[in-house]
Amino acid sequence: MKSIASAPGKIILFGEHFVVHGTKAILAAINKRVTVTTTFTDNKTIKINSELGTIEIPMTIKDGEPKMNEDKDENGNVIFKGSSHEEVKSEFRPFVFLANRLMTNSDNVWHPGNFHFFDHCLGLEITIDSDIPIGVGLGSSSACCVAATASIFGLFKELSSEEILKISIGAEKTIFPDTSGADCTVCTYGGMIEHPNIEKIDSAFDLNLLIANSMIPHSTKNSVEKVSKFKENNEERFSQLCDLENGLIDEVITAMKNNDATTFGLKMSENQKYLEEIQVSNETINGMISSLKEISLGTKITGAGDGGCVIALVKDENVNKVPALLGKDKECFSAKIDTKGVVWSKIEE
C-alpha cells in the first residue's frame, strides 16, 4: 500500500518576520508542490529518499515498542541519531520525527492501547519529490512537513486538516524551533489567508505575481535571530514597526475588497521598507527591486530575506520584460495561487 500526499509551496505577501513577534501576516499557497509517498517495508528501519540523498535509520525497541534513537541538543530540541550514532542531518529530521510520533502514538491519533506499529508493518520508506526550490523562502520545508504528515499518518488514517497542521508544525520545529506556524498553515489550507485567523481572503483583482529568485540560499533561523537582536537593541522602534505592519495589513485587506491593485502594490513596497529597516534585505535584493521598479506596482522580499526570493506585482503587458531586467543569473516565474492545499490519496497494491 502507498500513501501519497502533496502540499503547495507558499509566498508571504505581507508580514514576514513581524509575524514571529505576534503581528498579522498575509500568505498565499502557490502552484509548486512537494509530493511525499510512504510505503511499508520489511526492514526495521525508516528509509528516506530525497534529492538531498538517502538515509536509512534503524529503529530501536523500547518496552516492546519501536522507537528511533532520539536525543536532545544543547537547546533542548529533539534530534535523532543514525545507525552510526551521528546526528541525522537537519533536513531529514522532520520525517524521522513524524515516523517516531506515528509509531509511538504521541499525538493520540490512535485510541490508546489500540495501536501497535509492528502489528501492521516492520518499517517505512518515505520518498520526497519536489518542484519547490530549496532554501529561498518558497516554503519547501513547510510543504514537506505538511505533505509528510498526511502521507506518513495516512498509511493508517486520513487526518483532518487541523490534525495535519498541528502535527506538521511540530515537525517543522525540528528544523526551526521558533516558527510562527504561518507557513504550515497556508501549505495545509491553500489559497490566500490572513494569519493567525486562518481566514481565507478572496482577491477581487487578478494577482499577477512574479517570483524572482536571487539564487542566494538563506537560513530562516539565522535571519530570525538577527531580527530578534534588532528588536533587543531597538525595542521602541520595533514595536512601532509591528503596529505599522498590522495597520498596513488592514489597509491591504480593504484594498483587495475595493479591487485596488495600485494600493496593494504600494503597500508591498512600503512593507519592503520595514524589512530593510530590520536589516533582512541586502544589495542583491535591493538591486533586483530597483530593476523591477519601472514595470511593477510593488516589489518586496518574500520569506526570511538575506537572499531568497522577491515578489513583484506586475501588469500583464509587462511580464515579458522581467527576465531582461533581472539578468540571466536570476530565475523568475509567474505564481498562480493554489486553492487546494494538502491533498492525500491511498493506493492499495
* Residue of 30, 96, 182, 266 interacting with ligand PMV (CB under 6 A): 182
Q: What residues numbered 215-234 form the site for ligand PMV, per CB under 6 A?
A: 220, 224
Residue 182 CB, shortest distance to ligand PMV, in Å, is 5
Answer yes or no whether residue 312 interacts with ligand PMV by CB under 6 A: no
Instruction: Return the axis-axis angle of helices 182-189 and 161-172, rounded to nearest 10°.
Output: 140
Q: Does 8 bind ligand PMV (CB under 6 A)?
A: no
- Residue number with CB closer to ligand PMV (171 or 224): 224
257 alpha-carbon distance from chain centroid: 27
- What is the rounded distance in angstroms from the CA atom of residue 240 to the CA atom of residue 217? 30
Does 185 engage in binding with ligand PMV (CB under 6 A)?
no
Considering only 16, 91, 125, 194, the residue that binds ligand PMV (CB under 6 A) is 16
Pairing of strands 209-213, 331-335: antiparallel
Residues 21 and 16: their CA atoms lie apart, in Å, by 10
Instruction: Point out the residue whose Cβ comes nearest to ligand PMV.
Output: 303
What is the sign of the dihedral through the CA atoms of 100, 102, 104 and 105? positive
Q: Which CB, 149 or 220, lies closer to ligand PMV? A: 220
- Cα 275 vs. chain centroid, distance in angstroms? 19
Using an 8 Å Cβ cutoff, are 297 and 262 in contact? yes
Q: Which member of 5, 14, 17, 35 binds ligand PMV (CB under 6 A)?
A: 17
β-strands 123-130, 25-41 pairing = antiparallel
List the grid coordinates of 279: 536589516
Sign of torsion over alpha carbons 218, 137, 176, 85? negative
308 is a contact residue toward ligand PMV (CB under 6 A):
yes
Q: Applying CB under 6 A, does 183 fall inside the site for ligand PMV?
A: yes
Q: Which amino acid is at 140?
A: S
Q: Locate cell 516589489: which residue?
A: 299
Q: Which of residues 161-180 bind ligand PMV (CB under 6 A)?
A: 179-180
When asked if residue 133 is in the footprint of ligand PMV (CB under 6 A), the reply is no
Identified binder of ligand PMV from the candidate list 94, 133, 137, 341, rule CB under 6 A: 137
* CA atoms 233, 239, 240, 243: torsion sign: positive
Residue (228 or 286) nearer to ligand PMV, CB: 228
Binding ligand PMV (rule: CB under 6 A), the pick from 8, 139, 170, 341 is 139
Q: Is 304 in the site for ligand PMV (CB under 6 A)?
A: yes
Taking CB under 6 A as the rule, does residue 296 contact ligand PMV? no
Output the nine-digit C-alpha cell for 311: 515578489
121 or 134: CB nearest ligand PMV: 134
List residues binding ligand PMV (CB under 6 A).
Answer: 12, 16-17, 19-20, 137, 139, 179-180, 182-183, 220, 224, 303-304, 308
